[in-house]
Structure 1
Amino acid sequence: MTPTSSEPSVALPRLGVLYNPRTVEILSLARVSPGRWRTVWLVDRELNAQVGARRLLRRFGEVIDITGLSMAEAATCITEPLDGILATNDPDLVRAAELAEQLGLPHFCPAQVARLNDKFLQRQALQAAGLPTPGCVRIPAGMSLDAAVAAVAGLSYPAILKPAHGASSRATYAVSNADEVGQRFAERLDYPSEDFVVEERIPDGWAPADSPWADYLSVESLAVDGEITHFGITGRGQLAEGFRETASIMPPALAPAEWPALYGLAAAAIRGLELSSGVFHTEIKLSADGPRVLEVNGRLGGGSISWLAERVSGYSLLAAAGLVNLGRPPAPVPVPVPVPANTNGVGFAVYVQPPYEAREVVDITGADEVRAIPEVDELVLTRRPGDQVNPPEEGSQSVVAIIRGLAADHVRVAELLAQIEKSLQFSYR
């Protein structure tokens, strides 16, 4: 259904949305806002130079230009009060917290955002809350290579090297010893431009060859005034080199009896970070030693999770996020444990990742063949021939195609993953 631009003006709260074209689908948000809130788009033209997109934004709400403004300055541009602010990515959580503080709105405070966005601070907070936590060392920008190697010498290996502030496995590397940390840093032309962390790797739950599914998943949660509701759990396909995501599966191939413990761990992590309201995406590793928190994000999960939730259950996580950020309770979750018996089926989103060493897309074949698969709803090519890719630095954002759909069960999803991999072919240089 095409959203309408005509929204009733009566007594609906005003929701400020920090617009980012990478993480906000205009029509998706416009579709869920009528009857719930009036949208006020907060637009930074440095992030979105497309005039057409700004015209579309005006069809579905008020637009306030905050280009080049501090959040204190942006607050003075908002002449009619807002009732809440929605941010859909980690950098915008920082801006939302600053703006909410200026306007006196409910939102994470800057200290809470720091615990969400800074991987080292989050590990410290989770450890203080009593959750099992791997060893983690911060490598500050400006530290010499020799000092960095010495700082991480006491960790247990293997480990993972990654930015302290980062998403989508950007610039994320497996390292087998302290010297390799130094080697990885030496390879980066911009070192030491930002803080990194080296974190002990949580033991794998099973070998990749033993299952089409990865040994980690995510819990999607909603909280208002300390009351936490869990929507469900999303499984994953096996990771590509560089810890890049290749598939999201909802619901996961996980026995219902295992769900409560994962919900409990996600809730403990949220409370351990001293968070009482918000939307949370908690990634959990199913390690050989039991479930372990990988990280907590204070936003909706990326990777088609909102699309999958609605396709599988009819529930809009995007609508729920808007209401939660207005300080209002979301709609009740339709089913307590969304397993195949009480959903439409198993939703899947496949992310085609280029080889780690690829730098340019040369050719694409098989797209029409994949689109013809009955269970496939859509195939989106995110890169075309001639487009550049840089998997080590882009992480999962180096994806070249996304395929989404719905299957009868997990057996069929596994078959589809193999069929798509065989049919859709990219060549690179």
Structure 2
Amino acid sequence: MCGMREVPSSSTSCREHHDDGASTPAIGLPSDGNSLVSRLLPATWYSVRFTAPVETGRGALSGPALAGSNRGRIEHFDRSTGRCALLPRWLASLRRRVFHIKAVTRRLLAEHGVPSASSYLAQDADHGVKIARRLGYPVVVKPRGRAGSAGVLRADSDDDVREAFHHALVDSVLGLEAWSVTGALVEEYLQGPEIGVETVVCAPGQIRIVAVTRKTLGPEPQFQEIGHSVDAADPLLHDSALAGVVTAAARALRLSRGVLHIELRLTSDGPRVIEVNGRPAGDLIPLLVERATGVNLPQALAVLAAGGTPDLAPTRSEAAAIGFLYPEHTGYLEQFDVHGAMRHQLWLERLVWTRDLGTQVTAAPRSSIDDRIAHWVVTGPTAADCAIRRDMVADHLSVCVSRPAHTTSCAK
């Protein structure tokens, strides 16, 4: 059965409802049945096995960890297999064409009247200034491609727009510069809390909201995400206005099947879309969803890819949260550690150091997700409990970063 929170039909089966848009051209997963598993997945599904222990500055903390050259790259972890599943090649290509070219997404949302930030494509910095003046400051300047908030900056003046435009063209993360396209987007700045809606499209017209992710952002002008929280009892799961916007966004992009991470801001005028990501969320959000609700989103994606019907019925009613540690200043990482008995708490699902000693880390406002020094996942009965526990872990971490002038600063 495909979930308990259905939009808009009250049916619980992925196969029971098809709306009038089912015959329109659709962007989605192929539907050639179970043969997809044997014919495609063994040859094209990427995975990375987790093998390294969680290192501290003085020893090792046992548990799952990101290892090797990709330790800073957090993807979709499946505890049952010990693997980090990425997208098949054909679906990754689709994502590059539709979702990573953000101007295309914006155009489709606007054509279908989906509430989202006003957005315009600027070919150069001077053009960007003209757009910003027309929108009114502040604005947001972002690359047409990329991910992980790389090159996304708030701009409060003409000079800010010109500087942000430069960073939108040159800033990168995780090697995504190979997907870059010319120009940058200048967008309306939306005020309000930022959330992610973890959504499954089981079939045309069958859209399920599985969870809501509450995001914690670092200081502007960047929009770095420093934490996420998922609560199975989040009241937004029953918000009709939010459900309507999420449904409209999925339909505007003519998605037939897949797992989506839809980012929105809750403004005074209602929910408005920031981005639609045609994939499960990063930052271990699928793990938070599983810990809070029992729903396994990577598994749901695999079932959909095989032409099956995923089970999205919640089996838990708890909460989970993740925190990320960024450097306070730019320099080289000299020492890190966790103090006290924090590592033995049963509610600490994992604590992972994601940068090696001796590597350079960059502080805000030029940091990226590559500069995260650590992340940790906590669980609890409610989101409030998880927020307290996430802060407790942060208070027990110590990091020493040498400054360029060869002095060393330690933060605890």
TM over 0.5: yes
- For 1:313, the equivalent position in structure 2 comes to 293
Task: State the Cα deviation string for residues 1-57 of structure 1 (Å, max 9, x = none).
Answer: xxxxxxxxx97832427555xxx55479xxxxxxxxxxxxxxxxxx9899xxxxxxx
Indicate the SS of the match to 1:328: coil
Q: Distance in 2 between matches of 1:132 and 1:188?
A: 24
Q: Distance in 2 between matches of 1:193 and 1:298?
A: 19
Indicate the SS of the match to 2:99: helix
Residue 286 (str. 1) matches residue 281 (str. 2) = no
Q: Distance in 1 between matches of 2:184 and 2:341?
A: 42
Contact 1:152 1:198 in 2 (8 A): yes
- For 1:44, the equivalent position in structure 2 comes to none
Q: Distance in 2 between matches of 1:262 and 1:417?
A: 27
- For 2:111, the equivalent position in structure 1 comes to 128
Contact 1:172 1:395 in 2 (8 A): no
Q: Distance in 2 between matches of 1:314 and 1:225?
A: 22
- For 1:200, the equivalent position in structure 2 comes to 188
Letter matched to residue 346 of structure 2: P
Q: Distance in 1 between matches of 2:354 and 2:97?
A: 31
Which residue, out of 27, 41, 55, partners 1:16? 41
- For 1:334, the equivalent position in structure 2 comes to 313
Q: CA deviation at 1:309?
A: 2.2
- List runs of 5+ in structure 2 lacking aligned partners: 1-33, 52-67, 72-80, 172-179, 404-412
Contact 1:169 1:394 in 2 (8 A): no
- For 1:57, the equivalent position in structure 2 comes to none
Indicate the SS of the match to 2:386: helix
Q: CA deviation at 1:379?
A: 0.4
- For 2:218, the equivalent position in structure 1 comes to 239
Letter matched to residue 219 of structure 1: V
Which residue, out of 81, 91, 104, partners 1:96? 91
Question: Which protein has the bigger strand share?
Answer: 2
Q: CA deviation at 1:321?
A: 0.6
- For 1:39, the equivalent position in structure 2 comes to none
Q: Distance in 2 between matches of 1:173 and 1:189?
A: 12
Task: State the Cα deviation string for residues 347-399 of structure 1 (Å, max 9, x = none).
Answer: 111112223x5243232132564313332121000013212223556623422
- List runs of 5+ in structure 1 lacking aligned partners: 1-9, 29-46, 51-59, 61-85, 99-109, 205-214, 336-341
Letter matched to residue 271 of structure 2: P
Letter matched to residue 298 of structure 1: G
Choose 282-291 or 361-370, whichever is displaced more: 361-370
Structure number with the bigger relative contact order (C-alpha 8 A, sep ≥ 6) is 2
Contact 2:142 2:168 in 1 (8 A): no
- For 1:154, the equivalent position in structure 2 comes to 134
1:187–1:347 Cα change, 3 Å: closer
- For 2:14, the equivalent position in structure 1 comes to none
- For 1:217, the equivalent position in structure 2 comes to 195
Q: Distance in 2 between matches of 1:138 and 1:306?
A: 32
1:346–1:161 Cα change, 3 Å: same
Contact 1:138 1:197 in 2 (8 A): yes
RMSD: 3.4
Residue 229 (str. 1) matches residue 224 (str. 2) = no
Letter matched to residue 114 of structure 1: R
Contact 2:334 2:358 in 1 (8 A): yes
Which residue, out of 393, 403, 407, partners 1:420? 393
What is the number of residues matched between the two proteins?
329
- For 1:300, the equivalent position in structure 2 comes to 280
Contact 1:220 1:301 in 2 (8 A): yes
Question: TM-score, with normalisation over the residues of structure 1?
Answer: 0.67
Indicate the SS of the match to 2:241: helix
Q: CA deviation at 1:188?
A: 8.1
Question: TM-score, with normalisation over the residues of structure 2?
Answer: 0.70
Contact 2:117 2:273 in 1 (8 A): no
Choose 217-226 or 122-131, whichever is displaced more: 217-226
- For 2:338, the equivalent position in structure 1 comes to 366
Give the fraction of aligned pairs with identical amino acids, expressed as a percent.
Answer: 25
Q: Distance in 2 between matches of 1:113 and 1:189?
A: 17
Q: Distance in 2 between matches of 1:313 and 1:278?
A: 19
Q: Distance in 2 between matches of 1:308 and 1:400?
A: 20
Indicate the SS of the match to 1:321: helix
Q: CA deviation at 1:178?
A: 2.7
Contact 1:165 1:195 in 2 (8 A): no
Q: Distance in 2 between matches of 1:354 and 1:175?
A: 23
Contact 1:171 1:394 in 2 (8 A): no
Contact 2:168 2:184 in 1 (8 A): no
